[in-house]
Amino acid sequence: MYKHLFFLLIFSFITNYSLAQDQTLTGFVENSEDNSPIPSVHVINLSQVVGVISDEKGKFEVPAKLNDTLYLSYLGYKPIKVRVTNDLLKFKNSKIQLTELAYALEEVIVSPYKLTGYLEIDARNIPISRSFRYSIPGLPSKGYEGGSRNIGAFSKIVNSIFNPADFLYNLFGKNPRQLNKLKQMKDDYRIRELLASKFDRETLKELLQVEKVDIDEILRNCNYSDNFILSANDLQILDAISGCYEEFKVLNRK
């Protein structure tokens, strides 16, 4: 009797251990309106910081284990988070549906400049951003943004030396798990490819577990201009945040 109980416990342990290990979750992404497949959907495992893109049939395969969280997003659709269950891991044809967003169309000014159609003339008329970045020897970052559009740029540089990015430390410095995610995102080429095509900060928000206003605040504390914050894609924002934290560590050691 005890022998059978022992083997039963061993079998139960092995089964549970196997379920806890990384597996490949296979699923399909569909439009909730007509059940049509949605290709090129970004599917990111937030728990493991790994991402893939659905194919032309809406199919995706992503490393996952029980209780991981998947984040699915696609332009024009409402992003969703899905918890990985035993059923999702077991069945290879699970369907996840996205709902289209309704946008109210408003009048948009396509060209704010008076263009003539002659490249040589128009090139002179379009204003050029005079922003540039200062570099400080000994610091690993790319420097500090300055120029005619960045009032008080020099004072920001000086202040940053004596007042490191405290906001960034308060946000990440006391949370090693989030710092590990930051490093994983920076090193994973699949995540980098996904972020390079995004400008809405939604994916970064979910990956870093911060609000959009916090992302802007981080960049401002690191002396990035509003022009950069508004125009950069999510990959550039990620690299900027990562570089800022590396700089903070250098300054903090000093």
231: enclosing H helix or E strand: helix 226-231
Q: 136 in a domain, yes or no?
A: yes
Instruction: Specify whether 35 is located in the same domain as 79.
Output: yes
Q: 80 in a domain, yes or no?
A: yes
Q: Given 52, 79, 114, which residue is the final one in a domain?
A: 114
Q: Which domain holds residue 143?
A: 131-253
The number of folded domains in the chain is 2
Backbone Cα Rg of the chain: 24
Cβ proximity of 12 and 4 under 8 Å: no
Instruction: Specify whether 71 is located in the same domain as 136.
Output: no
Write the DSSP assignment of 153-207 as a string of letters: HHHHHHHHHHS--HHHIIIIIT-HHHHHHHHHHHH-HHHHHHHHT--SSHHHHHH
Q: 8 in a domain, yes or no?
A: no
Q: 11 in a domain, yes or no?
A: no
Q: Given 87, 114, 141, which residue is the final one in a domain?
A: 114
Position 39 scores a pLDDT of 96
Instruction: Specify whether 232 is located in the same domain as 172.
Output: yes
Instruction: Specify whether 237 is located in the same domain as 141.
Output: yes
For 236, the token pair is 């550039």
| Residue ranges of the chain whose pLDDT lies below 50 | 6-7, 11, 13-15, 17-20, 136-141, 146-165
Q: 164 in a domain, yes or no?
A: yes
Instruction: Specify whether 101 is located in the same domain as 144.
Output: no
Instruction: Specify whether 72 is located in the same domain as 43.
Output: yes
Q: Given 114, 144, 160, which residue is the final one in a domain?
A: 114
Alpha carbons 231 and 237: distance in angstroms, whole number: 10
Instruction: Specify whether 103 is located in the same domain as 146.
Output: no
For 2, the token pair is 């005890």
Position 188 scores a pLDDT of 84
Local structure of 52: helix, strand or coil:
strand
Instruction: Specify whether 146 is located in the same domain as 249.
Output: yes
Q: Residue 230: which residues within 8 A CB-CB, separation 6 or more?
A: none
- DSSP character for 198? -
pTM: 0.65
Going 118 to 120 to 121 to 122, the CA torsion angle's sign is positive
Position 64 scores a pLDDT of 96
Alpha carbons 6 and 21: distance in angstroms, whole number: 23
Domain CATH number, residue 35:
2.60.40.1120
Alpha carbons 112 and 120: distance in angstroms, whole number: 18
Alpha carbons 243 and 216: distance in angstroms, whole number: 15
The amino acid sitting at 149 is R
Q: 238 in a domain, yes or no?
A: yes
Write the DSSP assignment of 78-105 as a string of letters: --EEEE--HHHHH-TTEEEEE-BPP---
Position 179 scores a pLDDT of 66
